[in-house]
Amino acid sequence: MMRNAMPVSNRSGRRNAPRRISMLAALYLAGLVLLGLGADDSSADGDLTSKFSNQDSIRNTRHNLTQRQAAGGPSGVNMDPYRNDYGEICVYCHTPHAANTNVGAPLWNRAIPNTTYTVYSSNSMSQTASQPGAASLVCLSCHDGQQAVDAIMNMPGSGRYSATPNAGSPVGNTFLNGWTNPSGPDATAHAALKQGECLACHAPGSMVGAGAADFTVAAISTDLRDDHPVGVKYPSVNGDGTDWKTPGGSVTGAKFFDDDADNRMDKGEIRLYGNGADASVECGSCHDPHGVTNGSLFNTTFLRKPRATVCLSCHTK
């Protein structure tokens, strides 16, 4: 298991954050009631269509964390206080220099806190799931909700490096607060994707339905028992008459289902991490965080293939 040796230790500032954010959300909700909105519970708890077009590039997806409403969202509420808007999309995940090399993604710009996840387990599995592999930890560095979404190691501009960018966050974080936005307001409450932080607005009961999308399911947490297992090895017995299809393609470090038989591991092909007996299922087996085109639109939820065909790439059921 490859892990960044440096855990995020100081979380002392965190407990103030939820209160500040939910106060803002509460003020916002009070405003809604005054305006006579927000009475319709059914729409309030439904998800919203993304404002992003979900095509062409990651720029037009929810992984573009620079997005903001210049004039403010409903009632002038916007996200500026909750994450640094670095003005560039890739930097929330990648950096050209001083990258974290202990992880399963190139030029990685995020720390991976030492974490023990509660893994999926079931009697009918052929194995016990391991801790998530390096290729899953990169996703979990945001999706488990432990770190601020804008906690990156190498910020734009010179001399802005920290191996533990989330220390002391989200509120009062000297490193994250020290970044000055050249073209907009500065964030002071660096939120993580979890209840009380990003979910202070992006969860039912708050601004969902009134202006913000419901992100509840994206805040995966450190409990992975309700998620498709990751860190599981692909069964070595596969092919005709078994429960499993055979990943025909192989490259250095990966196996893949070569749907178009071109001997290349294409973005749109389901993959396994490792190309020997260790080949395992990780988040990136099914998802590509940059989006994969299917016709003119990306597959929904960053899937490599249309949802209807994902499961049957591996399972024969």
Sign of CA dihedral 127, 136, 81, 48: negative
51 scored as a contact of ligand HEC (CB under 6 A): yes
Looking at 41, 297, 307, 316, which residue binds ligand HEC (CB under 6 A)? Answer: 307
- 6 or 216: whose CB is closer to ligand HEC? 216
136 scored as a contact of ligand HEC (CB under 6 A): yes
Q: CB under 6 A: which stretch of 4-12, 34-42, 194-202, 258-266 binds ligand HEC?
A: 194-202
Contacts 24+ apart (CB under 8 A), 65-70: 65/89, 65/92, 65/149, 65/150, 68/184
242 scored as a contact of ligand HEC (CB under 6 A): no
Beta carbon of residue 149, minimum distance to ligand HEC (angstroms, whole number): 4
Site for ligand HEC in 202-221 (CB under 6 A): 202, 207, 211-213, 215, 217-218, 220
- 75 or 167: whose CB is closer to ligand HEC? 75
Q: CA-CA distance, 310 to 165, in Å (whole number)?
A: 36
Q: CA-CA distance, 55 to 267, in Å (whole number)?
A: 15
265 scored as a contact of ligand HEC (CB under 6 A): no
32 scored as a contact of ligand HEC (CB under 6 A): no
Site for ligand HEC in 66-85 (CB under 6 A): 67, 69, 73-74, 77, 79, 82-83
Q: CA-CA distance, 110 to 104, in Å (whole number)?
A: 11
Is residue 170 reached through a cis peptide bond, with omega within 30 degrees of 0 on the bond before it?
yes
Looking at 52, 66, 161, 258, which residue binds ligand HEC (CB under 6 A)? Answer: 52
Looking at 29, 153, 203, 281, which residue binds ligand HEC (CB under 6 A)? Answer: 281
DSSP, residue by residue, 59-88: GGSTT-TT---TT-SGGG--SGGGS---S-
Q: CA-CA distance, 225 to 230, in Å (whole number)?
A: 10
